[in-house]
Structure 1
Amino acid sequence: MMLRTFTTASTNTASSILPHPNLTATLFSPFTRKSLTAIRAALIKSAQEYPPIVADPKEKHAAVLIPLCNVKDQPGILLELRGKLKTHSGEVSFPGGRVDPADRTFAEAAVRETREEVGVLSDQVEILGQVGPPELSLGGLRVWPYVGFIHATPKLRRYDDDDDLGTPLPSLRMDSLTLSQFEVAVAFHLPFPIAAAPTRLQVHHFRGMRPYWAVEVSDLIKDPQTQFSRVTGDGKGKVEVWGLTGWYLFQFMKVLKIYE
């Protein structure tokens, strides 16, 4: 893909985004304990590049999970298409929502919302770190994004301590998910090779200023009856990972050096 350069209105400086030329081979093989350790370390290193952000108690907060998983031995991200809701109906999103008073941490809120929306047990989720900094949603919520791996089974049956660190972790069965009928129309898996395919990438500008890649995922949606609110100019009903979800996906893919 050709290198593209953009000028951001906020800084008047150029920033370049393109699929990384040296894709990490392990990201195109199933997730292993070794690769999860590497992702955790990359997230910690990335967090050091921006100032720590302390939650403002005067703000309203939400949390989302960027849920990594193997599906049919392919590494990727679990996404959902929102149901007929008051806001963002029919758009692609990560599992997540408002932080409840009973949630002890924002990460706990993200895991709880994942359980409520797609039926993943809390013990199946291994939190790896955060992507940041957290952004404000259009509705005024400060949204805290966490990265976690969804294991195919609860914690006690994940793996034995003497297993090879490079052994592929078991794949999640999509038919094992229990979707919230009210909130989620469809859940689907976005494999990394597809997320990195140049033919699927379209430049968007987050909040009108910061360039990022939106990813076209129409063919990954398994329910042809679903009506999508995000339709591109060609009128063919294309579905994209865009907006705040697209921005956080872009930031995470940069951490993994899939995008640069």
Structure 2
Amino acid sequence: MRCNVAPHTFRSSPYFHLTRPLTRRSLKSIEDGLINAQHLDDQIPTELAPGNAAVLIPLANVMDVPGILLEVRGKMMRNHSGEVSFPGGRVDATDSSYVEAALRETREELGIGAQDIEILGQIGPPEVNLRGNMVVYPFVGFVHAGSSHSDHTNTVALDEPLPSCDLDAIRRNASQTEVDAVFHLPLSALTSPARLRASMFRGNRPYWAIGVQDLVSDIPASFKGRMKQIEHDDVDDSEIGPGKYGNLEVWGLTGWYLYLLMKKLKLYY
């Protein structure tokens, strides 16, 4: 099945700039944009259902470049080892909400505490995994560097660039068993034709898969072991995956949620 995504279905977002660091004003704009784009089928239930999951889409400035933190899942992970994903996982008995589950998983996987993450909103509708036994709820947040986001609210001017995260420190603090690599995907990469591959989510929804192999300093062995050729017409319906032709990509459910976020923030048509 071929994908019918138009070759240039993106524009300047009114909510953020692709190359300028994120500021307090842009975070407020993104928060407002997510609220304005929300529909009834996007709503996150207040009552937790056993077995469901939550993920965080973590926006961050790194070296004054705005982007999104992603991870390559560890080779020892039972599911989706060596694949690109957002931090997240199943809710457990200690979680009082889906957003708390996403924050807990982010701390466990990337070593980033909830006090350093400012939740900006949610996107939806949430998707059920391919096995049909788990709903995955996605949240959007911003990772502040060094101190709680309440401190930045009080001390940083509206249009002043928010401090950049130390990506090397995040890599050092990441779980050695759950995470093989951590990388930063610049927002500018989301409209780079050289990175984009038209694909289909669950066989009938076009979206962009994004090549990121050059952004990972050392391709993990867990990924190399999964490299294989895939025919052009194969349906791209994996949950998260290494992409086609052995290229590390943001695709599947991770790619779909990223695409959905950019549609809601009007970067993609």
- Into which bin does the TM-score normalised by the smaller protein fall? 0.7 to 0.9
Q: Which residue of 1 aligns with 2:95?
A: 103
Q: Which residue of 2 aligns with 1:10?
A: none
Match of 1:31 among 19, 22, 47: 22
Deviation at 1:224, TM superposition (A): 3.8
Gaps of 5+ in 2: 232-243
TM-score scaled by length of structure 1: 0.87
Q: Deviations over 1:28-74 (max 9, x none)?
A: 21010000000000111111374646478666210000000000000
- Cα distance change of structure 1 residues 68 and 217 upon mapping to structure 2, 3 Å threshold: same
Matched position secondary structure for 1:26: coil
TM-score scaled by length of structure 2: 0.84
Which portions of structure 1, spanning 4 or more consecutive aligned residues, are displaced by more than 6 angstroms?
none
| Distance of 2:214 and 2:35 partners within structure 1 | 34
Match of 1:134 among 123, 126, 130: 126
| Distance of 1:112 and 1:53 partners within structure 2 | 17
Matched, 1:214 2:209: yes
- After superposition, the CA RMSD in angstroms is 2.5
2:143 touches 2:165 (CA, 8 Å); kept in 1?
Answer: yes
Deviation at 1:195, TM superposition (A): 2.0
Deviation at 1:27, TM superposition (A): 3.5
Q: Which residue of 2 aligns with 1:12?
A: none
Matched position secondary structure for 1:195: helix
Q: Which residue of 1 aligns with 2:105?
A: 113
1:206 touches 1:247 (CA, 8 Å); kept in 2?
Answer: yes
Gaps of 5+ in 1: 7-14
1:5 touches 1:17 (CA, 8 Å); kept in 2?
Answer: no
1:206 touches 1:243 (CA, 8 Å); kept in 2?
Answer: yes
The 5-angstrom pairing of residues 244-259 of structure 1 reads 244-259=253-268
Matched, 1:168 2:161: yes
The 5-angstrom pairing of residues 40-79 of structure 1 reads 40-48=31-39, 50=41, 52=43, 54=45, 60-79=51-70
2:68 touches 2:184 (CA, 8 Å); kept in 1?
Answer: yes
Q: Deviations over 1:99-135 (max 9, x none)?
A: 0121011001000000000100110000000010110
Deviation at 1:175, TM superposition (A): 1.4
Q: How many residues align?
A: 249
Query: Which deviates more, 133-142 or 225-234?
Result: 225-234
Q: Deviations over 1:190-240 (max 9, x none)?
A: 001112201211122111111111001010111145342354549862111
